[in-house]
Each structure stands twice: as C-alpha cells, then as structure tokens.
C-alpha cells in the first residue's frame, strides 16, 4: 500500500509542477494555479502520511483512509479545474467542491489517526 501511495504522490507532484508551468505561461490560468497547489500540497502530505504510518505514529487503517482521501480529493479538485480550463466544462457537477470536502475530511482523519494510534512503551 505504501508503494502505491508513494507512486501516486509522485504522479501528483509531477502533474502539480506541470500545471504550475502552464499557469505561469498561460493567460487567465488561475484555475491551473489552484489545481497545481492542491496537487503539490497533498502529494507532500501523502509522503508524510506514509512516513508517519511506517513509524506507527498514525493508526494504520485511519491513516491509510486519509492518504487515499488526499489522492481522491486532490484528483477530483484538480481534475475539475483543469478540465474547466482546457475543455470549458466540468468533470461532473460539484466535482471540485466534492474534492475539497474529501480533502478536509482527510485532514480530520489524520487528526483522528494520530489520536487513535497505539501508544509505545
């Protein structure tokens, strides 16, 4: 599971940098800048989550749910904004707000995973 999350974080990071470049060189590309930021921030959060899980500082199941929530939420959010920018239509109605909500819930799950983690000796 950890390798999958690390691989997804790498893809998100690469896409985030590509969208940042597109945003910097495009006209009105504020959507791309927002999409880039969400991908880059959450790619880093996924890597941190994997490290915390490996150290036992997060509850395994809840921590994994949070990490996959970051992947799903950021993909929905960034995918919707990118599609709006380039294709002129949404991924589906409320895709970006749904992705944002999933990311917020995932951050709350990180909090819960930290509280629920087993205590060391």
pLDDT at 120: 55
Number of domains observed in the structure of the chain: 1
b/e burial code for range 81-109 (CB count within 10 A of at least 16 → b): bbbbbeeeeebeeebbebbbebbeebeeb
pLDDT at 26: 79
pLDDT at 2: 95
pLDDT at 29: 86
Q: What is the 8-class DSSP label of residue 91?
A: S
> What pTM was computed for the model?
0.94
Classify residue 8: in a domain, yes or no.
yes
Per-residue model confidence as pLDDT tens for the chain (121 residues): 999 999 999 999 999 999 999 999 977 888 999 999 999 999 999 999 999 999 999 999 999 999 999 999 999 999 999 999 999 999 999 999 999 999 999 999 999 999 999 875 4
Domain residues for the domain of 42 are: 2-116
Classify residue 121: in a domain, yes or no.
no
Q: Give the pair of three-digit tokens for residue 42.
A: 């959450």
Classify residue 16: in a domain, yes or no.
yes
Classify residue 50: in a domain, yes or no.
yes
Distance from C-alpha of 13 to C-alpha of 43, rounded to nearest angstrom: 6
């Amino acid at each position: 599971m950890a390798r999958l999350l690390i691989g997804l974080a790498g893809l998100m990071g690469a896409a985030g940098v590509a969208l940042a470049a597109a945003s910097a060189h495009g006209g009105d590309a504020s959507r791309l800048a927002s999409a880039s930021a969400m991908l880059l921030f959450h790619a880093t959060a996924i890597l941190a989550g994997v490290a915390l899980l490996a150290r036992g500082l997060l509850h395994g199941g809840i921590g994994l749910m949070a990490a996959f929530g970051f992947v799903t939420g950021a993909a929905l959010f960034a995918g919707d904004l990118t599609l709006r920018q380039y294709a002129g239509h949404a991924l589906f109605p409320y895709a970006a707000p749904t992705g944002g909500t999933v990311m917020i819930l995932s951050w709350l799950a990180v909090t819960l995973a930290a509280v629920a983690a087993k205590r060391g000796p």
